[in-house]
Amino acid sequence: MNIPQELIKMKNAHMEQVAAYRHGLYEKPVLKQLFFEFTQNCNEKCFHCGSSCGLSRVEGELEKEEWLAIIDEVAENFKPKPMLCITGGEPLLYKDFFEVMTYAKNKGFLWGMTTNATLVDTEVARKLKEAGMRTVSVSIDGLPETHDRQRGLKGGYIRAMKGIQAMIDVGFDHVQVTTVINHENIDQLDALFDIMDKIDIDSWRVINLEPMGRALDYPEKMMTPDDYHRLFSFIKEKREQNYPVCYGCTHYLGMDYERELRDWYFICSAGRTTASIMSKGEVGACLDIERNERSVQGNVRQERFTDIWNNKFSLFRQELDNIAENCKGCEHSNYCAGGSWHSYDFENARQRMCFKGVIF
């Protein structure tokens, strides 16, 4: 791709600013997004689920009173309050969902949710509005047959689309659809665009299959270099046509695509502006990161979240390329910093996902 020199100069200047900002966060992290994983119970069983969720009886999950105490603590100790990002599993399966989130609203928190939307009808959408939900992201991972097969729920596509429409009708600040593209469903991009263009969503977030969770068991569905070029060219073209299509926050994309596919430049915020409280009280950075003795920083049943945030997280407050063996010495390290933590292979000390040599 032939990029004008002035554009290269501008991008370099911007990415230097991002690098300086990233370095500052290692010393002075600022909590902006706090994820609540209410449950790992889910009525779907997606082949690519990073947390390997499914329909099951989950023992030991945080009780309502524990979540309320966490909300009180965070409200008292973090100014301004972080945005609460509610997820699961399927968060609507958590029995005290509405009571907890109404309490959070009354404490002054803004919050949004990630859901498969199969449990959302007009009544549920109205209850979400009353409980203070501002934003929502719903997963649609292909045309009906593909979506249902990949997410393990017959009729899931129809139910999800009805849920999306119910939330559009009720009205929220931002209704987003997220689609995970893989080698199997990439041929459905154009057909999916036609569908998304006909419904009144605020954005369509198109991301690639990531090497994490259950997806590691399906190497044949990982995308090829040609798939990536096709996906990124598709997103770039739609954005140039002013459609609200974007790539996810993950991965450094090189000079050709940085800022072309999303509103700003790559930065992995795990453990610096983003933290997560898991369903049984464990505290980590991004919920998609492999859960092990190194990545889990503590548990709110033994320590206050505030103390964990302030005194732990040293693993994440350094450049990932300091420990990822295949990233050391890379000429892109100042902008990439080792990439995204969620695709890091802790056992082999390697980054699983890198676009160097693929798209740049």
Per residue of the chain (360 residues), what is the pLDDT tens digit? Answer: 677 889 889 999 999 999 999 999 999 999 999 999 999 999 988 988 877 777 676 789 999 999 999 999 999 999 999 999 999 999 999 999 999 999 999 999 999 999 999 999 999 999 999 999 999 999 999 999 999 999 999 999 999 999 999 999 999 999 999 999 999 999 999 999 999 999 999 999 999 999 998 899 999 999 999 999 999 999 999 999 999 999 999 999 999 999 999 999 999 999 999 999 999 999 999 999 999 999 999 999 999 999 999 999 999 999 999 999 999 999 999 999 999 999 999 999 999 999 999 999
Give pTM, 2 decimals: 0.96
Tally the C-alpha atoms within 13 A of residue 57's C-alpha that lie toward its C-beta.
0
Question: Quick one: which of 177, 38, 180 has its CA closest to 111?
Answer: 38
**Pairing state between β 344-345 and 350-351:** antiparallel
Residue 1: what pLDDT? 63
The pLDDT assigned to 58 comes to: 73
CA distances from 257 to 19, 23, 49, 252 (A): 17, 23, 27, 9
The helix or strand, by DSSP H or E, that contains position 178, with its residue range, turns out to be strand 174-181
Within 8 A by CB and 6+ apart from 56, the residues are 40, 41
Show Cβ contacts of residue 22 under 8 Å, excluding neighbours closer than 6 positions: 267, 272, 337
For residues 253 and 224, what is the distance between their CA atoms, to the nearest angstrom? 15
d(CA 268, CA 249): 8
212, 288 Cβ separation under 8 angstroms: yes
Buried b (16+ CB within 10 A) or exposed e, 39-74: bbbbbbbbbbbbbebbeeebeebbeeeebbebbeeb
Distance CA 106, CA 16 (A): 40
Number of Cα atoms under 13 Å in the Cβ half of residue 360: 17
Q: What pLDDT shows up at residue 73?
A: 98
Question: For residue 226, what are the CA distances in angstroms to 71, 231, 241?
Answer: 46, 9, 23
